[in-house]
Structure 1
Amino acid sequence: MIELKNINVTFHQKKKRIDAVKSVSIKIDKGDVFGIVGYSGAGKSTLVRVINLLQRPTTGEVLIQGKDILDFSAKELRQQRKKIGMIFQHFNLMKERTISENIDFSLKYSGLSKAKRKEKIESLLTLVGLEEKREAYPSQLSGGQKQRVAIARALANDPEILLCDEATSALDPKTTSQILELLKKLNQDLGLTIVLITHEMQVVKEVCHKVAVMEAGEVIEENDIVSIFSNPQKELTKDFIRTATHIDQAIETIAQHPTLTNLAEDEELIEFSYVGEQTSEPLIAQLYSKYHIVTNILYGNVEIVQQVPIGNLIVILSGEETQREKALTFLKKQGVKIKVLKTAKTERLNVPLQVV
């Protein structure tokens, strides 16, 4: 559906060259919810604006349905842009117009009669759950309601693609969850292809099928969402994942309580990571029954990503060293990833991690 080939975007400011996007190639299938994640300045917003040519690339190809829209005439490009809706972080509503009038503005050149436009506005307001706010003004709405209006406006011309540029960044967690649920519903019910730009991996986890991670203008990693969460390859991706799953926060909390990490000679502090069917297996119970290893669970978390459970545990294992080694070997054979965070021989928790 969407294919960006070797996209480069270069800006020149006061004799200074800025390579905002560097040789990026991604492919987004029809009906996908595709996330592009990165910190501020990574180039993700510049990249997403290339899709509807709000930002023309310096070099590269922008293919939609197999056609390079860089070759389109001005008229063809206007028609193409009608098929691409866009929502932003700060909603961009017109303050002096009612909610209905804001949506109607997008239908100005649709060719629909006034009656048909009114009918369309009503159906859009119902779709986003704001039918009772039709005569309200933006100043009378919450942030989440404003974003719903922006979504309704973006859908006014029945687009095939919806671009979301940090669409939840200005919202509180509860409202963010509601907007993400709405986006999932639009993807499922309307078959919308959604491209979602964010700096929050938690947002990606909730709705995306695939994700690309950007750093300094480049895509450094791309995969389906389950693979990204269960087996990230790049350090930046790992940082995003650990933030989203709160593992680093848990380790920091544990580190602040020395009584938890004052280990005996026969103990070690370990992080387990596991995915899929392993989360439902009584592996911890088997450590005692098979190897007489006692497990003290300090932290546990299970994320459901695209219906696949992904789990993390931070535990203290107690028992004879040879038995602990056998227990860890057993877990590794079950597909559990193991990081030794601390042993009795190490003084601090934040020692370099030993990956088994």
Structure 2
Amino acid sequence: MITLNNVSVTFKGKETTIKAVENVQLTIEKGDVFGIVGYSGAGKSTLVRTINLLQRPSEGSVIVSGQDLLSLKPKELRAARKKIGMIFQHFNLMGSRTIAENVAYPLRKSGLTKPQIKEKVAALLQLVGLTDKSSAYPSQLSGGQKQRVAIARSLANDPEVLLCDEATSALDPKTTLSILELLKELNKKLALTIVIITHEMQVVKEICNKVAVMENGHVVEEGDLVSIFTEPKERITKDFINTSTHVDQALESILKHPTLLDLQTNDVLANISYVGASTSDPLIATLTTRFGITTNILFGNVEILQETPVGNLIVVLSGEPGRRDKALAYLQSKNVKVTLIHHHQRVIPLKKEHYIV
């Protein structure tokens, strides 16, 4: 559906040269909801703009629906762009036009008659849940409603691809979830391929089936959502994930709380993470009944990612070292990862094969 072949974007000034995107190779399949995540300045917004050539790459090629966009003539490129919708953080609505007129704007040279345009606009507003706002103006709408108008407008030319550049960054959490739910519905109803640019891993968790992580103009890691969340390889990916699962914040609070960390000689502090079928097993109870290991849960959460449960626990494991090692071997046999958490108190190290740092 979308292939970026060795795409680079370089901005040259009088005194400086900035490589905003460097040698990016990405393939996005039809029907994907593909997230591109990174901190500010990572190059993600520049990259997404190469998909419809709002930003022409300095090097590489951009293939969308089998067409090499860089080889198209101006008229052909205009036609190709109509099949690539785009929404932005700040909506970009025209304040002097009604909601219906905003949605109709892309259809002004479509060849449709006025009655046909009116009918299509009504259908689009119904699709995004704004039938009753047809005659209103943008200033009368909430932020979430404005973004729904922007989405309706982006769908006017029946695109195959929808690019979302930080489309929920200006919205509160509840409104963000409603917009993401709408995008999920559109992905299924219209077989729409969606590319989402964001700095929020929570957005990626809610909607994406695949994700690429960008840093300093490079894609440093990519894969399906569950694999990225359960087996991240790069430090920046781990940082994003820990922030979105609140493990970092929980650990920081725990380490600052002395009563929680009154560890004894045979105690260890650990992060237990598990995915899929393991989440339904009574793992903690088994550690006690079979191995005599007491587990004090200090933090825990389970999330559903692409219909796959993923769990995280921060625990104190208490028990004789030999029993503890057998318990950890049991967890390992269940595809459960145990990570030793280092801190200022004395901790008896786990055997190397039983944990991943």
Structure 2 CA distance, aligned partners of 1:191 and 1:87? 18
C-alpha contact 2:267 2:347 (8 A) present in aligned 1: no
Give the 3-state SS of the residue equivalent to 1:96 in structure 2: coil
C-alpha contact 1:33 1:194 (8 A) present in aligned 2: yes
* Map of 2:356 onto structure 1: 355
1:105-158 CA-to-partner distances (Å, cap 9, x unmatched) read 111111110001000010000000000111111111110000000000000010
Q: Mind listing any 5+ residue stretches in structure 1 that lack a counterpart?
A: 348-353
1:180-235 CA-to-partner distances (Å, cap 9, x unmatched) read 00000000010000000000111011111111100000000010001001111100
RMSD: 1.2
* Map of 1:132 onto structure 2: 132
Counterpart mapping for 1:47-126 below 5 A? 47-126=47-126
Alignment size in residue pairs: 350
What is the deviation of 1:333?
A: 1.6
Structure 1 CA distance, aligned partners of 2:87 and 2:179? 12
* Map of 2:219 onto structure 1: 219
What is the deviation of 1:72?
A: 0.3
Counterpart mapping for 1:229-268 below 5 A? 229-268=229-268
* Map of 1:37 onto structure 2: 37
* Map of 1:18 onto structure 2: 18
C-alpha contact 1:6 1:60 (8 A) present in aligned 2: yes
* Map of 1:285 onto structure 2: 285
Structure 1 CA distance, aligned partners of 2:9 and 2:293? 56
Structure 2 CA distance, aligned partners of 1:253 and 1:96? 50
Structure 2 CA distance, aligned partners of 1:346 and 1:323? 16
What is the deviation of 1:287?
A: 0.4
C-alpha contact 1:3 1:25 (8 A) present in aligned 2: yes
Give the 3-state SS of the residue equivalent to 2:298 in structure 1: strand
1:259-302 CA-to-partner distances (Å, cap 9, x unmatched) read 00120112111110000000000111110111111111111101
Give the 3-state SS of the residue equivalent to 2:96 in structure 1: coil
Aligned AA for 2:329?
A: T
Counterpart mapping for 1:251-330 below 5 A? 251-330=251-330
Structure 1 CA distance, aligned partners of 2:206 and 2:148? 18
Structure 2 CA distance, aligned partners of 1:249 and 1:188? 35
Aligned AA for 1:320?
A: E
Structure 2 CA distance, aligned partners of 1:342 and 1:5? 42
Aligned AA for 2:346?
A: K
Structure 1 CA distance, aligned partners of 2:308 and 2:34? 18
Aligned AA for 2:297?
A: I
* Map of 1:334 onto structure 2: 334
* Map of 1:351 onto structure 2: none
Structure 2 CA distance, aligned partners of 1:96 and 1:317? 64
Is residue 184 of structure 1 aligned with residue 191 of structure 2? no
* Map of 1:350 onto structure 2: none
C-alpha contact 1:268 1:342 (8 A) present in aligned 2: no
Give the 3-state SS of the residue equivalent to 1:146 in structure 2: helix
What is the deviation of 1:355?
A: 2.5
User: Percent identity, aligned pairs only?
Assistant: 63
Aligned AA for 2:124?
A: L
Structure 2 CA distance, aligned partners of 1:276 and 1:346? 30
Structure 1 CA distance, aligned partners of 2:135 and 2:308? 43
What is the deviation of 1:15?
A: 2.1
What is the deviation of 1:346?
A: 4.9
C-alpha contact 1:299 1:315 (8 A) present in aligned 2: yes
TM score, norm. by length of structure 2: 0.96
Give the 3-state SS of the residue equivalent to 1:355 in structure 2: coil
Give the 3-state SS of the residue equivalent to 1:195 in structure 2: strand
Structure 2 CA distance, aligned partners of 1:170 and 1:60? 32
What is the deviation of 1:23?
A: 0.2
1:306-344 CA-to-partner distances (Å, cap 9, x unmatched) read 000000001111111211111112111211111111475
Query: Runs ≥4 in structure 1, deviation > 6 angstroms?
Result: none
Aligned AA for 1:345?
A: R
Structure 1 CA distance, aligned partners of 2:92 and 2:170? 12
1:32-88 CA-to-partner distances (Å, cap 9, x unmatched) read 111100000000000000000000000101111222110000000000010000000
> Greater shift after overlay, 207-216 or 333-342?
333-342
Counterpart mapping for 1:153-164 below 5 A? 153-164=153-164
Aligned AA for 2:182?
A: L
C-alpha contact 2:34 2:208 (8 A) present in aligned 1: yes
Structure 2 CA distance, aligned partners of 1:226 and 1:103? 36
